[in-house]
């Protein structure tokens, strides 16, 4: 399946745009096929003087390197080529970036027609492995450049501004998803059996954090046949990683419960009161978030966009017996 995203200066004044999937997508491999680019702009050109050390014997007319930025990748995906900046004291400060790809150079206003319609074929693998993107997932693509503000020196990579991204600019990104893609209506429901540690109508379930901290899905040894890992974080200040977000169902007379193993030691639970949840992420984000524990009070995320990804989190769904008189476990 080919996915194509077009961003034009005529349509938006910003050099990035958030696209929203109108149906769920399952795949085993995602490839950046090609990028088509028009960006003719004198503000992205600079003449470097031969008087500057290291430029050479004559002046050089240069145009700024351009980069595709994308937010649909995580640390578990394949990285491409460029140093990235991470939070202070992060040991990964020399790791290549998987959110920014060198795609081309800017074109000057005197560029030929052949250059103005420039297309580059990449065939770069971005994601490899079973992946589920839910309906409504947001994919943000943008164009950035390594600035040439100072003759003879490249500056930092920055998003194009209102001067460098103008009505002449156009960016088209084509991705190819292969292996098991399914529409939202055909994503199979997972029947969640009664949790092995269910406490019945008179007690909360017994959940031992240590039994769920190293799940097999993340290369660990924990087995959990009556619990399903639907998302996780790695404690690396990156985004939540979704696994299988649904649909989930359970038998009549039971309810689905979501829980989080936080930092490998603490369990936080949320009773849904439902026998069916189509998409766990959508369900959680529709709740009013707790000020300190996020949606569902399980450290999932909150309305300010915080994902608690500076902590190690494992998020599971189980089926339990409703408590007598109802209520939620926090």
Task: Summarize pLDDT for 198-242 with one digit per residue, the tens.
Answer: 999 999 999 999 999 999 888 888 988 899 999 998 888 877 888
In this predicted structure, what is the pLDDT of residue 80? 62
Could you report the per-residue pLDDT of 75-87, keeping only the tens digit for each?
Answer: 666 666 555 555 5
Mark 265-300 as b/e (b = at least 16 C-beta within 10 Å): eebbbbbbeebebbbbbebbbeeebbeebbbbbbbb
Q: What angle do CA 175, 181, 186 make, to 5 degrees?
A: 145
**For residue 314, is it left (φ>0), alpha (ψ between -120 and 50) or beta?**
beta
For residue 96, the model assigns a pLDDT of 59
Beta carbons of 277 and 264 less than 8 angstroms apart: no
pLDDT-based confidence at 94, cuts 50/70/90? low
* Average pLDDT estimate for 34-46: 82
Write the pLDDT tens digit of every residue in 274-319.
999 999 999 999 999 998 999 999 999 888 778 898 999 999 999 9
Pairing outcome for strands 60-63 and 255-262: unpaired
| 119/181: higher pLDDT | 119
Q: Residue 305: its pLDDT value, please?
A: 75
Q: Which of 36-40, 135-139, 198-202 shows the highest mean pLDDT?
A: 198-202
d(CA 97, CA 289): 32
CB 68 within 8 A of CB 100: yes
Q: What residues have CB less than 8 Å from 283, skipping those under 6 apart?
A: 272, 277
Residue 135 neighbours by CB under 8 Å, 6+ apart: 21, 22, 23, 24, 184, 279, 282
318/280 Cα distance (integer angstroms): 12
Phi, psi (5° rounding) for residue 303? -65, -15
Q: Is the alpha carbon torsion for 145, 148, 153, 158 positive or negative?
A: negative
The more confident residue out of 39 and 178 is 178
User: Mean pLDDT, to the nearest integer, of 240-260?
Assistant: 92
In the predicted model, is pLDDT for residue 261 greater than 50?
A: yes
pLDDT bucket at 117, cuts 50 / 70 / 90 = very low
The residue extents of the domains of the chain are 2-178, 188-320
Calculate what percentage of the chain has a pLDDT beyond 90: 34
Residue carrying the six token digits 């292969």: 178
Whether the full predicted model's pTM is greater than 0.95, yes or no, is no
Predicted confidence at residue 111, as pLDDT, reads 47
Q: Output the six-digit token pair for 215.
A: 């799940």
Radius of gyration for the chain, computed over Cα atoms and rounded to the nearest angstrom: 24
* pLDDT mean over 115-138: 74
Q: According to the model, what pLDDT value does residue 265 have?
A: 94
């Amino acid at each position: 399946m080919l996915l194509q995203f077009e961003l034009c200066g005529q349509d938006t004044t910003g050099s990035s745009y958030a696209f929203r999937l109108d149906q769920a997508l399952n795949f085993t491999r995602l490839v950046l096929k090609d990028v088509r680019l028009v960006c003719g702009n004198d503000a992205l050109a600079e003449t470097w003087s031969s008087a500057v050390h290291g430029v050479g014997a004559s002046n050089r007319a240069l145009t700024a390197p351009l980069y595709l930025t994308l937010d649909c990748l995580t640390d578990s995906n394949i990285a491409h080529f460029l140093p990235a900046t991470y939070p202070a004291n992060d040991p990964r400060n020399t790791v290549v970036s998987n959110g920014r790809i060198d795609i081309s150079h800017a074109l000057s206003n005197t560029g030929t027609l052949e250059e103005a319609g420039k297309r580059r074929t990449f065939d770069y693998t971005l994601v490899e492995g079973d992946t589920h993107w839910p309906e409504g997932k947001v994919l943000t693509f943008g164009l950035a450049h390594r600035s040439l503000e100072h003759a003879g020196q490249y500056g930092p990579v920055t998003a194009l501004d209102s001067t460098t991204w103008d009505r002449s600019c156009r960016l088209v990104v084509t991705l190819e998803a292969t292996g098991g893609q399914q529409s939202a209506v055909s994503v199979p429901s997972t029947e969640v059996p009664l949790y092995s540690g269910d406490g019945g109508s008179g007690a909360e379930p017994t959940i031992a954090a240590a039994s769920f901290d190293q799940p097999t899905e993340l290369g660990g040894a924990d087995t959990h046949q009556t619990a399903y890992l639907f998302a996780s974080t790695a404690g690396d200040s990156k985004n939540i990683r979704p696994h299988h977000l649904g649909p989930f169902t359970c038998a009549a007379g039971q309810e689905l419960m979501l829980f989080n193993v936080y930092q490998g030691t603490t369990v936080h639970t949320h009773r849904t009161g439902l026998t069916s949840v189509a998409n766990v992420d959508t369900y959680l984000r529709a709740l009013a978030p707790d000020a300190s524990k996020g949606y569902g009070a399980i450290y999932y995320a909150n309305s300010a966009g915080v994902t608690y990804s500076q902590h190690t989190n494992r998020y599971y769904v189980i089926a339990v017996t409703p408590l007598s008189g109802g209520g939620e476990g926090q």
